[in-house]
Amino acid sequence: MVHVIWEAVLLRRIMLLSCMAVSVLLSLCLVASADVSSITWTQTYGGTRNDAPESVIQTSDGGYALAGHTLSFGARGYNFWLLKTDAYGNIEWSKTYGGSREDYACSVVQTSDGGYALGGHTRSFGAGECDFMLIKTDSQGNMKWQNTYGGPDLDAAHQMIATSDGGYALAGYTGTNGANSLDGWFVKTDEFGKMEWNQTYKWEEFDRIYSLVETSDGGYALAGETNSFGAGFTDFWLIRTDASGNMLWNKTYGGKGWDIAYSLLETPDGGYAIAGDTNSFNEGKYDVWLIKTDANGNIEWDQTYERAPPQEFSNFIRPCSLVRTLDGGYAIAAKTRTSGTSNFDFWLIKTDAQGNMEWNQTYGDGKTEQPNSLVATSDGGYVMAGYTLTKLEAEKIDMDFLVIKTFGSTEAKQYDIYEYDYTFGYFTYTFVVHSNSTIEDFSFDLHQKQISFNVTGPNQTTGFCKIAIPKELLDGDFPIYLNGEPMTEGRDYTKTFNGTHTIIQITYSHSTHLITITGTHTIPELSTWTAPTFLLAATLVSVIYKKKRTT
């Protein structure tokens, strides 16, 4: 009798002590809809100096090609830089082109032979201070030919397209026709880069073309900015030409401030959609402005999208990129200032067919980041290419290519929300995991300071999991391993902190994988001598309870 009473008292005491022990339980599993604004993967490319992309396209094999400029690689000055990646942004090859001065690529297209064409401008070659330049490569980026176009002064291309006759068209501006003005300049070549004709759109002041499309009737439409005429300091400028570049009509749009068109599309109804920046309509603050016109350039509707907080910029180029989406709406990539800082983030806006905003999302990690190009991908997602800037010592900067891929609508299927409770004394902390994979065997090892779980999903699909880790429970640098192999931050996962939780989003090709996440410290109250005591107590309770059950 005394033995039984003593055992019951001991059991009660140990069970009270064991309230401090580990308790990880699956408590909730819900189903929600995934979001096409969620990041699938991010990649950065570059060296120790300044490298920035201006154009991204999806290639016929499902990968991507990026064109821009590099100071880290190639000859002494800035060079054209062409990168080819797979569908996950892993570099397959890269090439540089240029001389010892400054050469900037503005556009890349994939050609019918599987190669590439790059357009831009050069100070290393040509007839003048700066000339248009066109380069043709094979499928591996090896140069086949290059040509320059221009006069004795400044000629800068801002967009190049492949035309339906197998040739190319480049548009930008020229200063050759007058020292005190810039004029829109349009060059058409054959398939070998030989100039067929060129057109100058000349007025009195500064007029630049930033975007170009071939129209369904074989003519062209061009968009940019003008301060030669219009309502304000500079206005959106839309030019319509025939097949030889002869102007049919032109229109301006804007208020009393700065209105600059950067991106142009022909719409299925024969009209046009134009996107850019305006500070004419929001007390001097810069908004993104989207205009839809009919086939004659008359406005059908327009929408502005206010940055939050409202922002003032100096009047330098703030590129934005416009694409039509699979549902008939539009997507715009622009930059927006990070709240409370002088830095900028990528900003992706999705609208319906009338320009009404459906959602918007910012992407950034506290640095200055600016998107320069946007493509709607075949899976219904988006790829944005731009730069990320790091300030170094002595006022130096390092600029790298930054590419962000969002989930496509075909990938953004149902996902599960898993909640795992961890009880420590009187407190309960919760790990929350969002995933389109099946999560199994979730565990948190107090001594190893490690989270581990298995993910499983159908082959040849992209898997993701986003885990929120309470700061009070586990903190640190969080190296992450997939099947024991280290994953790469920025490529395989992203990590942010919202003040209470570390948010880690991991992507992978679906199969069955073991994921482990390791911290550097746990709850401060768990000293080196108390933790083993708690675990011993939990073990004793378990053993005694089993003995009582078996007897």
- Parallel, antiparallel, or unpaired for β 39-45 and 397-406? antiparallel
* pLDDT reported for residue 409: 61
* pLDDT reported for residue 426: 73
For 33, the token pair is 């809809």
Task: List, for residues 107-122, the tens digit of each pLDDT value.
Answer: 999 999 999 999 999 9
For 536, the token pair is 């011993």
* pLDDT reported for residue 214: 97
Task: List, for residues 298-330, the tens digit of each pLDDT value.
Answer: 999 999 998 766 656 544 446 789 999 888 899
CB 474 within 8 A of CB 497: no
CB 220 within 8 A of CB 199: no
Largest CA distance in the chain: 111
* pLDDT reported for residue 40: 77
> CA 330: distance to chain centroid?
16
Lowest mean pLDDT among 103-112, 191-200, 456-465: 456-465
- Edge-first strand order for the sheet with 493-497 is 24-33, 414-424, 427-435, 462-470, 501-509, 493-497
- 551 pLDDT above the threshold of 60: no
* pLDDT reported for residue 395: 67
For 20, the token pair is 């401090």
Going from the C-alpha of 263 to that of each of 59, 183, 320, the distances in angstroms are 21, 18, 7
Residue 258 CB neighbours (<10 A): 22
- 527 pLDDT above the threshold of 70: no
Residue 126 CB neighbours (<10 A): 19
> CA 469: distance to chain centroid?
25
pTM: 0.72
d(CA 138, CA 144): 7
CA angle 81, 84, 88 (to 5 degrees): 130
Better-predicted residue by pLDDT, 551 or 531: 531
* pLDDT reported for residue 35: 57
531 sits in which H/E element? helix 530-550
CB 62 within 8 A of CB 378: yes
Residue in this structure with the two tokens 């320069």, named with its chain if needed: 372
